[in-house]
Amino acid sequence: MNNRYDFLFLFDCQDANPNGDPDAGNLPRIDVETGQGLVTDVCLKRKIRNFVAQTSDNRIYFVEGAVHNNQHKEAYEAIGEKPEKKVKATVKDAAREWMCKNYYDVRTFGAVMSTEVNCGQVRGPVQVSFARSIDTVVTSEHAITRTSVTNEKDIEKERTMGRKFTVPYGLYLAKGFVNPFLAEQTGFDDDDLELLFTALENAFQFDQSAARPAGSMNPQALLVFKHDNALGKAPSQKLFDLVQVKRKEGVEAPRNFSDYDVTVDEKAIPDGVTLIRRI
DSSP string, 130-193: PEEEEEE---EEEEEEE---SSGGGTTSPPEEEEEEEBS-EEEEEEEEE-HHHHHHHT--HHHH
pLDDT, residue 269, reads 98
For residue 240, the SS3 value is helix
Condensed to tens digits (0 to 9), the pLDDT of residues 231-255 reads: 999 999 999 999 999 999 999 999 9
**Residue 143: pLDDT over 90:** no
Buried b (16+ CB within 10 A) or exposed e, 175-199: bbbbbbebbebbbbeeebbebbbbb
The Cα–Cα gap between 134 and 129 comes to: 15
Condensed to tens digits (0 to 9), the pLDDT of residues 10-51 reads: 999 999 999 999 998 899 999 999 999 999 999 999 999 999
What average pLDDT does range 165-175 have in this prediction?
97
What average pLDDT does range 56-75 have in this prediction?
95
Condensed to tens digits (0 to 9), the pLDDT of residues 82-121 reads: 988 888 999 999 999 999 999 999 999 999 999 899 999 9
Beta pairing, strands 131-136 & 170-178 = antiparallel
Q: What is the mean pLDDT of the chain?
A: 94
Cβ neighbours of residue 41 under 8 Å, at least 6 residues apart?
Answer: 127, 128, 129, 130, 174
Band of residue 158 on the pLDDT scale cut at 50, 70, 90: low
The Cα–Cα gap between 128 and 19 comes to: 16
Comparing 107 with 159, which gets the higher pLDDT? 107
